[in-house]
Amino acid sequence: MNDFSPRASHFSPRVSDFSLRVSDFSPRVSDFSLRVSDFSLRVSDFSLRVSDFSPRVSDFSLRVSDFSLRVSHFSRSFIILGKKDAGQS
């Protein structure tokens, strides 16, 4: 049993040696923050393309309004056919 005690004391220096590796990893996290800030400029540059596309959506709305007039004109023709049907009865 006395032979086992020196092994426990010999294991402690390895725990202290592992603490230095955790401190060495912190500088890499700070170095990664610069890349995130550099990516924000690309997002702002993409917003201009979305604004340039909006005029095409407004130009398409005029065609939808022009189609509504044809639907209203077709409804009147259907009402006239109904009146002729009632006159024959």
pLDDT (tens place) for every residue of the chain, 89 residues total: 555 555 555 555 555 455 555 445 455 444 445 554 445 555 444 555 555 555 554 444 444 444 444 444 444 454 555 555 555 54
Q: And the tokens for 23?
A: 């401190």
* Sequence letter at residue 64: V
For 79, counting Cβ atoms within 10 Å of its Cβ (0-12 exposed, 13-18 middle, 19+ buried), the class is exposed
CA distances from 43 to 20, 25, 48, 73 (A): 38, 30, 10, 48
pTM reported for the whole predicted model: 0.09
Encoded tokens for 79 = 């009402």
Please, what is the Cα angle at 32 between 29 and 37, to 5 degrees? 135
CA angle 65, 69, 73 (to 5 degrees): 165
